[in-house]
């Protein structure tokens, strides 16, 4: 997934969400995609308790992850605390 595709996916999911549970809740990234995807979107971490985030959505990186965007319902507690989708970087 390219950074542009990730942002497009987040925007599409947000636009299609009829309930809070349908909004973007967690970005999962396979370790091999780390450099190409996450570093390219300039993920941030304001505090350790905040976790790594892109557009205020939590990112989890692991070798057994698929690179994907999960809804809040799919993510469960792994995506908390949930925040509203932040704007695209200019």
Kindly give, in sequence order, each residue whose CB lies less than 8 Å from that of residue 60, ignoring residues fewer than 6 positions away: 26, 27, 28, 29, 78
Is 84 contained in some domain? no
Quote the domain boundaries for residue 35. 3-79
pLDDT score at 90: 64
Is 87 contained in some domain? no
Is 74 contained in some domain? yes
Overall number of domains in the chain: 1
pLDDT score at 40: 76
Q: What is the pLDDT along the chain (90 residues), one digit of tens a residue?
A: 788 889 999 999 999 999 999 999 999 988 887 767 767 777 778 777 788 999 999 999 899 999 899 999 999 999 999 999 999 876
pLDDT score at 2: 81
Q: To the nearest 10°, the Cα dihedral for 42, 47, 53, 57?
A: -150
């Amino acid at each position: 997934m390219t950074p542009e595709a990730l942002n497009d996916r987040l925007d599409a999911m947000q636009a299609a969400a009829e309930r809070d549970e349908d909004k973007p809740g967690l970005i999962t990234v396979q370790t091999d995609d780390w450099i190409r995807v996450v570093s390219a979107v300039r993920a941030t971490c304001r505090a350790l308790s905040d976790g790594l985030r892109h557009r205020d959505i939590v990112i989890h990186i692991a070798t057994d992850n698929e690179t994907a965007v999960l809804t809040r319902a799919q993510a469960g507690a792994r995506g908390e605390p949930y925040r509203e989708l932040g704007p695209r970087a200019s």
